[in-house]
């Protein structure tokens, strides 16, 4: 049986753990809001890019740049997971979703899937499933760290295109829902959806004044598509990070409940043990008093 001192040490350790869990919960909640605000801030930026595309496409109904069918023998995939643990089933779910998505192209062998993992834990699960991972990048620790990672990915995608002729690229990441829920999501990043470009081209201009441009058409269109890629990848990072922290918040809430239950049980044991000790001491005193009285 544990002594009172043993129980006291266990209670103190459990209280310390409870404090750590509460801190992690608070940090996760704050980060969720930061990444949600980052996604919200992309709205106006995305709108500006669409307006730019609307202008450059206005007289180019036959545009095909960026909307080609892509090679049928290979594809590129970027899978967004986590570097840290304690985020539930997030990595398992997104990797399973990504593998299912890539399996929709049975004519493309695994070795011809050019995969980049975002997060070490996603990489491990992909390799455990027999999917080679060509490259890996770490998960940014804050909103300010997302942009450099996005630029690295854009450079990698351009290398895929120029060096290997790769046209088809998919993103697989988690999107947050209400509360602490999230869902795996896919985005066909490239080739750019021609139907989407056509819808933009046909939109009515929101004002009476139509902007003009003087720079080279190809350069301007390429710059706008690059910005589209930047926004899409930035959103994937931010939503994946928001989902990771939402999953971690759920895990911490479960851990906090278990710790509370354990702390309650330990406290009850401590009080029982202490009461038994007091009772034994009283019995010893009474026995000693009776022994003295009989002398």
| Tens digit of each residue's pLDDT (9 = 90 or more) over 199-222 | 998 888 888 888 888 889 989 999
What pLDDT sits at residue 195? Answer: 87
If you average pLDDT over residues 242-249, what whole number do you get? 88
pLDDT for the residue 66? 47
Structural domains of the chain, count: 2
Element at 95 (helix H, strand E): helix 90-102
According to the model, what pLDDT value does residue 29 have?
80
Say yes or no: 136 and 280 in one domain.
no
Q: Which domain holds residue 269?
A: 4-26+255-293
Same structural domain, 171 and 264: no
Cβ atoms of residues 276 and 4 within 8 Å: no
> Side by side, which strands form the sheet with 169-176?
135-137, 113-118, 75-80, 169-176, 182-190
Greater confidence, 6 or 198?
A: 198
The pLDDT score that the predictor gives to residue 14 is 82
State mean pLDDT over 213-232: 92
8 plus 67 within the same structural domain: no
Q: Which of 107-111, 263-267, 275-279 has the lowest mean pLDDT?
A: 275-279
In a shared domain, residues 134 and 196: yes
């Amino acid at each position: 049986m544990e002594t009172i001192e043993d129980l006291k040490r266990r209670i103190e350790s459990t209280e310390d753990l409870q404090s750590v869990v509460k801190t992690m919960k608070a940090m996760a909640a704050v980060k969720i809001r930061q990444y949600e605000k980052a996604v919200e801030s992309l709205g106006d930026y995305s709108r500006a890019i669409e307006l730019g595309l609307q202008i450059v496409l206005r007289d180019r109904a036959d545009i095909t740049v960026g909307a080609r069918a892509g090679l049928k023998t290979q594809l590129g995939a970027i899978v967004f997971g986590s570097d840290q643990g304690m985020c539930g089933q997030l990595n398992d779910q997104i990797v399973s979703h990504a593998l299912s998505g890539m399996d929709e192209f049975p004519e493309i062998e695994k070795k011809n899937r050019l995969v980049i993992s975002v997060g070490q834990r996603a990489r491990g699960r992909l390799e455990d499933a027999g999917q080679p991972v060509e490259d890996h990048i770490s998960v940014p620790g804050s909103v300010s760290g997302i942009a450099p990672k996005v630029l690295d990915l854009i450079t990698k995608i351009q290398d895929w295109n120029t060096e290997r002729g790769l046209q088809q690229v998919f993103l697989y990441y988690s999107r947050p829902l209400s509360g602490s829920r999230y869902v795996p999501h896919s985005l066909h990043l490239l080739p750019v959806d021609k139907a989407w470009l056509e819808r933009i081209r046909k939109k009515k201009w929101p004002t009476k004044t139509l902007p003009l441009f003087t720079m080279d058409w190809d350069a301007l269109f390429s710059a706008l598509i690059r910005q589209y890629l930047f926004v899409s990848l930035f959103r994937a990072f931010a939503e994946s990070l928001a989902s990771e922290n939402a999953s971690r918040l759920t895990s911490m809430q479960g851990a906090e409940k278990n710790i509370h239950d354990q702390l309650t049980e330990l406290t009850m044991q401590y009080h029982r043990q202490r009461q038994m000790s007091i009772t034994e001491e009283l019995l010893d005193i009474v026995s000693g008093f009776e022994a003295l009285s009989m002398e």
